Amino acid sequence: MKMIRLTRHRNPKHSVTKALTIPMTENLRSDSGGIARAAALLKAGGLVALPTETVYGLGADARNGTAVAGIYAAKGRPSFNPLIVHVENGEHARRYGLWSDQAEVLAAAFWPGPLTLVLPLRPDHDLSSLVTAGLNSVALRVPAHRTAQAVLQAFGGPIAAPSANPSGRISATTAGHVLAGLADRIDAVLDDGPCTVGLESTIIGLNHARPTLLRAGGLPIEAIEAALGEALAIADGAKIIAPGQMDSHYAPAAQVRLNAKNARAGEVFLGFGSIPGDLNLSPSGDLTEAAASLFDHLHALDAMAKPIAVAPIPDHGLGRAINDRLRRAAAPR
């Protein structure tokens, strides 16, 4: 990170006592120059937020412990949360995770795409131990997004990237969201417009007796079960296997009330389908559209600094992931 005094995108929430170590966040375009710059910053141990089809990720060289530590610092993330390692393709994934027939089936069906596989960690890996937070497993993802792929190829190594938001806050689906939360805490953001899926990847654990759903996300569970030919086990909520499942993990600053038919006095209302609101996740009742607009609408309503009431969302397909996020947003804290 560059040592500078004057910065662009200064975030007033961050203490001025850190002025000498605050980097100036570069706003990179997703062209060949921007991608080369992003790769150079990553090679130098920098932090670069980059788009994936799910959400923006806060990337660092997964082999560089200092760089990875920078991710936790920038996010203010509890250090026991392991990070997803992004790789170019399944062949690269095999360098880090112990492969199995089920890994092969899911990788062939859904990579590149919004799926993360948790596999036993290979003993001969060269990842920073901070990436896995000391676990003997590793979360691996091959993103489909053209810019994520271009950066992975230009960088030529594994990129650790959690969602590019301060810990416990709403995930970023635009470069503007990234800067709103992390400006001057990271070296650069690579802007390629809004994310198309708009929900984090679905996480499947293949390090248990049965394939296990660790986090619902952008890839419907039904599609995964169809590919595997068996039902997924559901992670035991009492035992935090994926810390992303923590209650109140996706919390807006405002209080959130679910399954509301209409707004009470003083509330802003997030509608769905025929139930109107200040904003509507999908006037036509389309769950894919609702997923793509979820974080955007939560950010926008949160900015109004009033309690948020949310219309009922059908609990199937992507609706399950949306409801999972909304329950966390509404959890007591």
Chain positions contacting ligand TXA, by CB under 6 A: 52, 54-55, 57, 81-84, 116, 118, 132, 135, 137-139, 141, 161-163, 200-201, 203, 214-215, 241-244
Q: Which of 9, 314, 293 is CA-nearest to residue 170?
A: 293
Judged by beta carbon, residue 34 or residue 181, the one nearer Mg ion is 181
Of 186 and 275, CB closest to ligand TXA: 186
Q: Three-state SS string across 296-310, please?
A: HHHHHHHCCCCCEEE
For strand 308-310 and strand 115-120, is the pairing parallel, antiparallel, or unpaired? unpaired
Pick what 138 binds: ligand TXA, Mg ion, none; C-beta below 5 to 8 Å, kind-dependent. Answer: ligand TXA
Paired strand residues for 205: 118, 212
Distance from C-alpha of 232 to C-alpha of 317, rounded to nearest angstrom: 14
Place of tokens 């993103």: 143
Residue 250 C-beta: closest distance to ligand TXA, Å: 10
Q: Which residue is nearest to ligand TXA (CB)?
A: 244
Smaller CB distance to ligand TXA: residue 4 or 133?
A: 133
- Kindly list the residues in this chain that would bind Mg ion in the complex (CB under 5 A): 163
Q: How far is the CB of 163 from Mg ion (least distance, A)?
A: 3
In the complex, the smallest distance separating the C-beta of residue 124 from ligand TXA, rounded to whole angstroms, is 17
Residues with Cβ within 8 Å of residue 15, at least 6 apart in sequence: none
Distances (CA, A) of 277 to 9, 23, 251, 329: 32, 40, 20, 18
Q: How far is the CB of 254 from ligand TXA (least distance, A)?
A: 21
**For Mg ion, which is the closer residue by CB, 52 or 163?**
163
Given Mg ion, ligand TXA, none, residue 203, with its beta carbon under 5 to 8 Å by kind, binds ligand TXA
Rank residues 72 and 269 by Cβ distance to ligand TXA and give the closer one.
72
Helices (H) and strands (E) in the chain, counts: 9, 15
User: What is the C-alpha to C-alpha distance for residues 153 and 148, in angstroms, rounded to an integer?
Assistant: 9
At its nearest, how many Å lie between Mg ion and the CB of residue 229? 30
